[in-house]
Amino acid sequence: MSAFPWTGGKVAVLNSLFSIFPKMSKVKAYVDFFCGGCSVAFEVARRNPDCEIYISDLNPYVVNTLKIIKNNPDELIEELQHVEELDSEEYFAKMKKRQPINPEGVGDAVWFMYIINRSFNSLFRLNSHGKFNVSYNNRNNSRIVSPERIGGLYKLMTNFHIMPAGSFSRVARQVESIKTVKTELQIGPSEIFVYFDPPYVPVSQTSDFVDYNPDGFGLADQQKLSNVMLNLAQLGCLVAQSNSNADWVLNNYSDNFHIRYLEKYRLNAASAAARKKVLEVVITNYEPAQRLISSFL
Ligand SMILES: C[S@@+](CC[C@H](N)C(=O)[O-])C[C@H]1O[C@@H](n2cnc3c(N)ncnc32)[C@H](O)[C@@H]1O
């Protein structure tokens, strides 16, 4: 389950990922700094309803929408039903112009849910001025709101702690927040599982979408991330990261971590090129049983 369609979301590979993750019954706190549509966090909550879940993302539209699903689902459903009736290419163009600057509250969550459900390829891309710049997908007739879905998400969010939207590069503070989690919950570090799902290191110059925000996510960010992961591993937490199988990733992590490969096959893709398998890695500081996992999308 994902709160909304989200590029790079892990819905299609959840079973594979959880076969590499630690046993959920042993995890008392789950932390996700790149939560996006929260597909992984929702699956943790489904598998272990007692787990305390700490989430955050750089994108303030994402974070505001998750807060509203948790705190104000009924109003969100009501307003989305109204917007669904108005949906058209012209309405989409009007909504684009009404982009909130500092998203806060139900109205801004409605804006985001509408835009993400009707943008081409459900892409949320901002230009260098922070303006949403994706066009309308006139072939998408899927529902923008399903009260049952939002109700289901709301129920899974009982133990969600939504941290303020912010860049992962506030490394020190994030590491501090793990210490706070430990003290608050009085649990051992090995009961804390931190999963990182950052924008991937591109395997080629044209291949991958990394522009989740106007500043991108370059190798300097990847380097900071690898330092944080190492810090948390040294604190005794269980850590895992998804990334591409780019040389930089393999070179940077193979000395201190275990690397597992996740093969993704697209069975129903139209062209042979699109059917090609995609290889990703999952980097961990514990030894997962499996070496290679396949997912059929
Ligand atoms: C691969 S997606 C995560 C997908 C998520 N696991 C899911 O299943 O929906 C990467 C996320 O990283 C976020 N992001 C990009 N740069 C970031 C940064 N510097 N700090 C924190 N989050 C960032 C993006 O907004 C995006 O949601």
Distance 36 CA to ligand 1 centre (A): 5
- What percent helix, strand, coil does the chain show, rounded to 5? 45, 15, 40
- Domain extent, residue 21, equals 11-58+166-296
Of ligand 1's listed atoms, the one at least distance from the Cα of 217 is 16
Q: Which residues pair with 162 in a beta bridge?
A: 55
Mean pLDDT throughout 72-82?
A: 97
Q: Are residues 189 and 276 in the same domain?
A: yes
Q: Are residues 49 and 129 in the same domain?
A: no
Q: Are residues 240 and 280 in the same domain?
A: yes
Q: Of 15, 34, 163, which is best to mutate to test ligand 1, by the most ligand atoms within 8 angstroms of its C-beta? A: 34
Highest mean pLDDT of the ranges 103-117, 124-138, 156-170, 220-234: 103-117
Q: What is the pLDDT of residues 275-287, one digit of tens each?
A: 677 889 999 999 9
Per-residue confidence at 189, pLDDT binned at 50, 70, 90?
confident
Q: Would you say residue 273 lies in a domain? A: yes
Q: Are residues 249 and 271 in the same domain?
A: yes
CATH number of the domain at 17, please: 3.40.50.150
Q: Is 6 touching ligand 1 by the criterion CB < 6 Å?
A: yes
**CA nearest ligand 1 atom 11, residue:** 34
**Residue 269 confidence (pLDDT):** 61
Mean pLDDT throughout 30-51?
A: 97
**Nearest C-alpha neighbor of 124 from the set 204, 259, 6:** 6
Has residue 260 got a pLDDT over 70? yes
CATH number of the domain at 110, please: 1.10.1020.10
Q: Are residues 88 and 180 in the same domain?
A: no
Of ligand 1's listed atoms, the one at least distance from the Cα of 195 is 6
Q: Are residues 124 and 267 in the same domain?
A: no
Range 27-48 burial, b when 16+ CB lie within 10 A, else e:
bbbbbbbbbbbbbbbbbbbeeb
The reported pTM is 0.93
Has residue 48 got a pLDDT over 60? yes
Q: From residue 276, give the alpha-carbon distance in Å to each of 39, 203, 259, 270, 294.
A: 25, 15, 22, 11, 13
Q: Would you say residue 283 lies in a domain? A: yes
